[in-house]
Amino acid sequence: MKTLNDLLDEAAQNSRQNSGLLTSTGNLSYADIKNRVLTIASNLKKNGIKQGDRVAIVHRNSPVFIEAYFALSRLGAIAVPINYMIHNSEELAYMLGDCGAVGIVTQEEFIKGLRGAVKLLDKIKFIWMSDEGKPACLENEYPFSDLLKDVPLETFAPLSEEDVAVILYTSGTTGKPKGVMLTHKNLITNTEGGIARLNLFSHDSSLAILPMFHTLAWTANVLVSMRLRSRLAIAPSITPSKPWLSLMAKSKTTLFLAVPQIYSLLAKSSKGLKGFVLRHWYFRKVRMAVSGAAPLNLATSQEFERAFKVKILEGYGLTETSPVITINSPDRPKAGSVGKPIEGVEVKIVDDEERVLKSGEEGEICARGRCVMKGYYNLPEETKKAFTRDGWLKTGDIGILDEEGYLFIRDRKKDMIIIKGLKVFSAQVEAVLAENPEILESAVIGVPDEHGDEIIKAFIVLKPGSKEDKSSLMKYCREKFDSYKRPRDIEIVESLPRNSLQKILKRTLRELEIKKRAASVG
């Protein structure tokens, strides 16, 4: 079995012309990347970073992110990519302290929160800043270019496929973030499984617009491209869209990976002159579109496919599974499904007693395979609770397997609402609300009532210019829903809280609602 170091070595030795990384400022071949990685790793070792040490990466998508990650891998150290959208120093300090990070690779725009975090810790010895022309100024802060200074190249101990390559912190939607330990085997096998399912080739080209600190972009963009020795265009941000659309045209992107919100925006922009330019200039070479990280609305999928003549292949996975568990195949996708398990992964559906359910029966989705995490860092009890008694990872999601083995997601287990003993899936309520042409998006939660039961509340974002109000929306709900599934309260909002991959944070909505109700009672 290979490690990430083998992946880079093979790409550097056997790449095609024009493969490698493409940014708005130039190209880097895989051979260039390897040379820089060896230099960075040697300088890290010279600075005292050793095998097993943890170093955080708080950085936008860029070659620096990839080089730092692979340099740590070469050294046998562990990369800890952290969401750069987190600015709270205490939250950053929790993750940095939890993993025992000794260094950070970052850029100037994120330094304020990190400096506050470092003041709360005593193990951070280095902060390397990548911004050119903006030298670091405080103690223990250094320019990243110091790591690219010529030094005698070091030798590094060989790694095992079972060694931890990365610690990724969960989004914290259900409590304190947990550090997910993924090994070289986890990442490599997931990469291979995705390539096989999508039937990708070395002449494919992809675009990285999702943040690399998340395992979806890291595996599906970076590692897949490196394994194929193909071209990867790198955009530092999803917004604004013009820079990445230009990169998309320049790189002749054939594989487009995005989250549902991006597909929704593209679908809404597909009409008129703007839509014509999108279809015939930027998306002209795209042969495959992949969606992940959140549920894809069927109406959005159909609207995008009609406009761009490209089918969206929906997949499903978790940080804990590196991340892909299932994905639809290009030759036989099934509408509404997230596909079948990729090679090396098994899926089963179980009830609350962990008994296996039959095809078509709803229960918790469980997975096992070579891509499943080693565990949560320093949390043996949490790790134990994450698995069934016979060793399958419990995803926390509710779904069904049909008779052909296709997986359908119903809802998060935590988002299931119990109304007088009856189960209501919030995703099903949201799907019906999405049929209303005046509703842009919604989030449905269960709120405790005074009787210890729950009521359904919907937070709704209306389309621009809509004249709908709470009264008309309640009338719509009375017409569309059975009594027990009907939202009993509706709040019209301008936007919904989201995490870095645009997943709606229902936990935030619940907490705000509970506080609001407690205040009104008080």
Q: Looking at residue 173, what is its pLDDT?
A: 45
Residues in the chain: 522
What's the pLDDT band for 174 if we cut at 50, 70, 90? very low
What's the pLDDT band for 121 if we cut at 50, 70, 90? very high
Q: Decide if 215 is inside a domain.
A: no
CA dihedral (113, 116, 122, 126) positive or negative: positive
Q: What is the CATH number of the domain that holds 504?
A: 3.30.300.30
Q: How far is the C-alpha of 179 from the C-alpha of 182, rounded, in Å?
A: 10
Q: Decide if 191 is inside a domain.
A: no
Instruction: Report DSSP letters for 278-320, one per residue.
Output: IIIIISTT--EEEE-SSPPPHHHHHHHHHHHS--EEEEEE-GG
Number of separate domains in the chain: 3
Same domain for 395 and 435, yes or no, is no
CA atoms within 13 A on the CB side of 461: 10
In single-letter form, the type of residue at position 78 comes to I
Q: What is the mean pLDDT of residues 224-239?
A: 94
Same domain for 427 and 401, yes or no, is no
Same domain for 37 and 178, yes or no, is yes
Instruction: Say if residue 137's pLDDT is above 70.
Output: no
Choose the most confident range, by mean pLDDT, from 14-18, 335-339, 441-445, 501-505. 335-339
Q: Which of 253, 321, 320, 322 is nearest to 290 (CA)?
A: 253
Same domain for 244 and 388, yes or no, is yes
Q: Tell me the residue range of the domain where 463 lies.
A: 420-521
**Residue where a domain terminates, one of 161, 182, 203:** 182
Is 483 in a helix, a strand, or coil?
A: helix
Q: Decide if 212 is inside a domain.
A: no
Instruction: List C-alpha distances in Å: 19 to 9, 22, 40, 218, 335.
Output: 14, 9, 22, 17, 34
Same domain for 474 and 366, yes or no, is no
What's the pLDDT band for 479 if we cut at 50, 70, 90? confident
Q: Decide if 290 is inside a domain.
A: yes
pLDDT in tens, 3-27: 999 999 999 998 877 789 999 888 9
Strand order in the sheet with 179-183: 141-143, 126-129, 103-106, 54-58, 78-81, 164-169, 179-183, 375-376
Instruction: Say if residue 129's pLDDT is above 80.
Output: yes
Q: How far is the C-alpha of 252 from the C-alpha of 255, rounded, in Å?
A: 9
Same domain for 144 and 171, yes or no, is yes
Instruction: Say if residue 172's pLDDT is above 70.
Output: no
Q: What is the mean pLDDT of residues 144-171?
A: 91
Instruction: Say if residue 139's pLDDT is above 80.
Output: no
What's the pLDDT band for 520 if we cut at 50, 70, 90? low
Same domain for 427 and 371, yes or no, is no
Q: Looking at residue 521, what is its pLDDT?
A: 57
User: What are residue 179's DSSP bridge partners?
Assistant: 169
Same domain for 354 and 427, yes or no, is no
Q: What is the CATH number of the domain that holds 62?
A: 3.40.50.12780
Q: Which of 120-134, 184-198, 450-464 has the lowest mean pLDDT?
A: 450-464
Same domain for 406 and 433, yes or no, is no
Instruction: Say if residue 133's pLDDT is above 70.
Output: no
More confident residue, 514 or 441: 441
Question: Please, are residues 343 and 193 in contact by the beta-carbon 8 Å criterion?
Answer: yes
Q: How far is the C-alpha of 112 from the C-alpha of 44, rounded, in Å?
A: 24
DSSP state of 199: T
State the helix-helix crossing angle for 89-99 and 111-119, rounded to 10 degrees: 60
DSSP state of 356: B
Q: Decide if 201 is inside a domain.
A: no
Question: Please, are residues 427 and 295 in contact by the beta-carbon 8 Å criterion?
Answer: yes
Q: Looking at residue 411, what is its pLDDT?
A: 72
Question: pLDDT above 90 covers what percent of the chain?
Answer: 60
Q: Looking at residue 519, what is its pLDDT?
A: 67
Same domain for 407 and 442, yes or no, is no
pLDDT in tens, 40-65: 999 999 999 999 999 999 999 999 99
**Residue where a domain terminates, one of 378, 395, 412:** 412
Q: What is the mean pLDDT of the chain?
A: 89
More confident residue, 67 or 468: 67
Same domain for 25 and 167, yes or no, is yes
Is 111 in a helix, a strand, or coil?
A: helix
